[in-house]
C-alpha cells in the first residue's frame, strides 16, 4: 500500500500528468529507462545514472501496483489515491495530526 505523496512523487519521477493510462505509464518508463540507463553513460556519470534508474524502477513498480489491469486513465490526485487506499489515508492523517501535536 502506498500513500499519496509516494504515488505523487512516482508520477513526477516518470514525468506524468495527473491522469495517465497504463500505456502512457509504460511508455514514460521505457523512455526514461533508455535515457538514464547506466550503460549509456560515461564512467564518471554512472553513479548518478544508477541512482536515477533506481528511482525510475521504483516509480514504475509503485504505479503498476496502484493501477488495475484495464487500459483506462488513472487519476493520481490525493482524493483518487485515498479512494484506492482508504486505510492508508486515515493512517497518514492520523500521523500528521499526532506530529502536529508534539
For 2-52, write each residue's pLDDT tens digit.
788 888 999 999 999 988 888 899 999 999 999 999 888 898 999 999 999
Q: Any idea of the CA torsion for 69, 73, 61, 24, to the nearest 10 degrees?
A: 110
- Residue 82: the pLDDT is 74
Comparing 6-10, 53-57, 72-76, which segment has the lowest mean pLDDT? 72-76
Mind listing the pLDDT tens digit for each residue in 85-101? 766 655 666 566 656 65
Range of the domain at 66: 4-100
- Please tell me the predicted confidence (pLDDT) of residue 22: 87
CA distance 74 to 81: 10
Residue 92: how many other CB atoms lie within 10 Å? 18
CA–CA separation, 85 and 34 (whole Å): 32
pLDDT at 84: 75
pLDDT for 16 equals 94
- DSSP assignment letter at 71: S
Q: How confident is the model at residue 72 (pLDDT cuts 50, 70, 90)?
A: low
Confidence (pLDDT) at 81:
76
Q: List, in sequence order, the alpha helices (H) in the chain.
A: 4-13, 22-36, 46-66, 78-84, 86-100
Residue 89 sits in a domain whose CATH number is 1.10.287.110
Distance CA 1, CA 65 (A): 8
70 pLDDT higher than 80: no
Q: How many domains does the chain have?
A: 1
Amino acid at each position: 500500500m502506498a500513500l499519496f505523496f509516494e504515488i505523487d512523487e512516482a508520477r513526477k519521477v516518470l514525468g506524468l500528468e495527473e491522469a495517465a493510462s497504463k500505456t502512457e505509464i509504460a511508455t514514460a518508463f521505457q523512455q526514461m529507462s533508455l535515457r538514464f540507463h547506466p550503460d549509456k553513460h560515461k564512467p564518471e556519470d554512472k553513479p548518478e545514472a544508477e541512482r536515477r534508474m533506481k528511482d525510475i524502477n521504483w516509480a514504475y513498480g509503485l504505479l503498476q501496483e496502484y493501477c488495475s489491469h484495464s487500459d483506462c486513465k488513472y487519476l493520481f490526485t490525493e482524493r483518487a489515491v485515498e479512494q484506492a487506499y482508504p486505510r492508508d489515508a486515515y493512517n497518514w492523517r492520523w500521523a500528521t495530526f499526532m506530529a502536529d501535536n508534539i
